[in-house]
Amino acid sequence: MHVISLLKIRTFAVWEVRREDEFSPLKNGSGSKDTAATCRQDLMLQHIRWLKEAGADLPSDVNQQIESTENTCEISPLISYAGEV
């Protein structure tokens, strides 16, 4: 659907959101950008941001640890859907 198609609707809303919280494209195979691995990494970095915003005491290099290794940081959607405490 294109934005022009939306203009035919009587009422609609647009939300401005942080890109890193709402969008991580998955369109390529391994070895390039926008892959399953980069989507997983983006999700883990989002969860780290949530933990920091909630006051968690994390190592100062936690982002680099996630980016460079197989370490994981995941918050179950049963616990928090959007970083709420």
pTM: 0.72
Give percent of the chain with pLDDT exceeding 90: 32
Looking at residue 4, what is its pLDDT? 62
State the Cα–Cα distance between residues 51 and 76, nearest whole angstrom: 12
The contacts of residue 63 (CB under 8 Å, 6+ apart) are 45, 48
Per-residue pLDDT of 16-53, as tens digits, reads: 999 888 999 899 888 888 999 889 889 999 999 999 99
Q: 47 lies in which domain range?
A: 3-68
Total domains, the chain: 1
SS3 sequence of 12-57: CCCCCCCHHHHCCCCCCCCCCCCCHHHHHHHHHHHHHHHHHHCCCC
Rounded mean pLDDT of 65-70? Answer: 75
Residue 80 falls within a domain, yes or no? no
Residue 77 falls within a domain, yes or no? no
Residue 54 falls within a domain, yes or no? yes
Residue 78 falls within a domain, yes or no? no
